[in-house]
Amino acid sequence: MLWSLVHGRQPLLPVDTGRVMGPYPGRVAAESGPGGTNRLGSALCRWDGRTRPPARSRGKKSSPDKEALGRSRGGFSTKLHVRVEGKGRIMTFMLTPGQQHEVTVAEALLDQGAVKQAKGGRPKRRPKRLVGDKGYSSRKFRATLRRRGIRITIPHKRNECRSGPFDPTIYRLRNLVERLINRLKQCRRVATRYEKRAECYRAIVTIAAIMLWL
């Protein structure tokens, strides 16, 4: 431009007018590279101000319910439901959001876990008696236990019309569950959930349960 001003001449037009630079400046350097690989263009792909898709496609975000997280009276937490055998050792467990009621997973806990019989044969899945707190006092759940031939030791709620036999001596065996929960909470990662995914937290609880069995 300085040469054209001094001599009073117009600058020459570009010879190659048909060449297209492309959507971003790095395309020329990319095409001139070996094999036509886009090296510099990938670094300059957003110089033109247009959006580009992410370099790595991310999976679908999981919901709090799938990760066993929910709002309860104690805050954002996870509820651990356990099934304990007669000697106070954990048989199986389930994770639910903190606001989910206990009776909603009671039948699923009964279907999981089995006890090996001393005389051999098929492992026994149904217990002779079930002891639970008032949270498991439901007409539907009681009918399910009676249909399966399982004896019931669950205290009735105040708002329940019907009342049946209740043995407080047998109900004292429920302290085995409370003591088991206390031993599980000695593992800090069980008492305070640090894991984001429910699968990771389930693995931590499984390891703690195995340690108690050993």
Amino acid at 53: P
Split into its structural domains, the chain has a count of: 2
Let me know whether 84 and 154 are in one domain: yes
Distance of CA 108 to CAs 41, 81, 93, 160, 201, Å?
56, 10, 10, 24, 19
Q: Are residues 141 and 188 in the same domain?
A: yes
Same domain, 35 and 92: no
**Residue 37 falls inside a structural domain:** yes
The parent domain of residue 178 ranges over 70-213
Same domain for 28 and 100:
no
* Each residue's pLDDT tens digit, 36-50: 555 555 555 555 556
Q: If pLDDT is split at 50, 70 and 90, which confidence band does 105 have?
A: very high
CATH number at residue 109: 3.30.420.10
204 burial type by CB count under 10 A (0-12 exposed, 13-18 middle, 19+ buried): middle
The pTM assigned to this predicted structure is: 0.66
DSSP at 212? H
Average pLDDT over every residue of 108-120? 83
**Distance (Å, whole) CA 207 – CA 211:** 6
88 and 192 assigned to the same domain: yes
Task: Tell me, yes or no, whether 63 lies in a domain.
Answer: no
